Amino acid sequence: MITYPRKPISLSLTSSDLCLDNKLETAATLYQKANDCFHLLLTEPALAEFDLPGSGEATVDQPRLLWLEISPYRLIMTMQSNGRFSYRHWLERGIYGMSRYWLQDDSLGQGGQVRLRNFTRQLEFSGDPLPTSLSVEYELWANRVQMGRYALNLEIHHDLD
């Protein structure tokens, strides 16, 4: 597996019908698994302090590992942490995929999983031989209720080679 460490990236997630507009600029490691299949690994910054419902105390979540498997055909995005929240999205052009969220509550000894369907309307991948951008437009669904439309955009900057 060929490795390209410390590539500057821009990752954004927006919603066309909800109040959501997030952008992350950081460095990531790009791994080439095959001619058109890559893994991108980065550390998502820790969340700021927030109050836990019912606890009356603020907490700071730990930094989280974000792992993207990208290709011209699909995006698999996994966020893992030692904290309270993890997720995995399987997005593939023109099909219904699965979005899973895992919630942990150490104080109650409980954890749960939420499963939603997603439908990928558009997936555009560019760059040869290395990816330079990925754009995905998708919808989240809970049964027959649409939970929003989203656009995820990834830019990988190779100018530091």
- Sequence spans of domains, the chain: 2-45+59-156
**How far is the C-alpha of 102 from the C-alpha of 89, rounded, in Å?**
12
pLDDT score, position 123: 97
pLDDT tens, residue order, the chain (161 aa): 788 888 999 999 999 999 999 999 999 999 999 989 999 999 876 655 555 555 555 555 567 789 999 999 999 999 987 667 789 999 999 999 999 988 876 555 556 889 999 999 999 999 988 999 999 999 999 999 999 999 999 999 987 54
pLDDT score, position 104: 73
Query: Which CATH architecture best describes the domain 2-45+59-156?
Result: Beta Barrel (2.40)
Buried b (16+ CB within 10 A) or exposed e, 23-52: eeeeebebbbeeeeebbbebebeebeeeee
